[in-house]
Amino acid sequence: MNVKKFTPVSITKRRNLNVGDVFFGEDEFIIGRKRDSKIEVGVTREQLNMITEVIVSKNRKFTVPKKDTSKIDKTRKNAAWVVEKVDFRESVKLIHSTLPASTLITARRLIENEITEDSETIEFYTSGIYENTISKEFEIIGTYK
């Protein structure tokens, strides 16, 4: 039987997260928006309000605010999270510019030192030019293996 365990270590601070790292939540995790089965964190209320949708009807173009799909949960900043996936993408040379490298982190909430299928899943970038980029050091408190 393969049982995963949380192994605590002394708290270290790092910008780069690895699969299995357990880290504390951040203030940026409070506001998020639903995206598929995940919550996209690291966005601000101002960024959520700026989202608009363009509708064309009878040869006229209308810009309307998009429905607010934000999900506010203050417990996210005090929770422990386990890195489930790290998706690094190299920079890409486009015709007139270069898209910089980016790192997308997918993490699950750790509840009573366990991850279940119902554990909340969050996504955010640690590098890149996306609106939900959190570029700071994270407090790593252990590994989940």
pLDDT tens, residue by residue, 99-136: 889 999 999 998 888 888 888 999 999 998 888 899 89
Joined together, the tokens standing for residue 93 give 């040379």
> Residue type for 51, please?
I
* Segment 15-30, tens digit of pLDDT: 899 999 999 999 999 9
Residues 29, 117, 24: CA angle, nearest 5 degrees? 30
Residue 120 and residue 129: Cα distance in Å, rounded?
25
> Residue type for 90, please?
E
Phi, psi of 9 (to 5 degrees): -135, 175
% of the chain at pLDDT higher than 90:
38
Residue 32 and residue 42: Cα distance in Å, rounded?
7
Model confidence, pTM? 0.79
**3 or 92: which leads in pLDDT:** 92
Joined together, the tokens standing for residue 42 give 């690291």
Residue with tokens 């009807």: 57
